[in-house]
Amino acid sequence: MPIALLASTFATVFLAELGDKTQLAIVTISGTSTRPGAVFAGSSVALVLASLLGAAAGGSLSAVIPTNALQLAASVGFLVIGVRLIQRSSTSEVPDTAADEGPSAD
């Protein structure tokens, strides 16, 4: 097993998972449970299975579709998601309140 690939994959996934919604869900569940070990075990198995599915799908797809095309498709997908999030945030309306108007200059 190539150590460099293992290390870069570990670092990428570890940094990507810090502070995401999965981690927040785990904190919430363990905070309402008296069995944090069971929460750890369940979340660990779920992450391992999700990673296994991703690795298997990526390996299978790369046998049929060139790697550059897969990377381009993933990049375009993330770009589309980002643009849509920006559009939603710029079109969401904030209700006006009297507190925003401030005192009158009259």
Range of the domain at 47: 3-65
Residue 49 included in any domain: yes
Residue 77 included in any domain: no
Q: First and final CA of the chain: distance in angstroms?
A: 76
Assign 102 a pLDDT band (cuts: 50, 70, 90): low
Residue 83 included in any domain: no
Give per-residue pLDDT as tens, 48-101. Answer: 998 899 888 877 887 888 888 888 998 999 899 989 989 988 886 655 555 555
Instruction: Please state, in angstroms and rounded to a whole number, the distance separating the CA atoms of residues 97 and 83.
Output: 29
Give per-residue pLDDT as tens, 5-15. Answer: 889 888 888 88
DSSP letter string, 83-105: HHHHHHHHHPPPPP-HHHH----
Residue 51 included in any domain: yes
Residue 104 included in any domain: no
Residue 7 included in any domain: yes
Tokens of 101: 């108007």
- Distance of CA 64 to CAs 21, 51, 54, 60, 70, Å? 33, 20, 16, 7, 10
Domain count along the chain? 1
Single pTM value for the model: 0.53
Residue 94 included in any domain: no
Residue 29 included in any domain: yes
Which pLDDT value is given to residue 3? 92
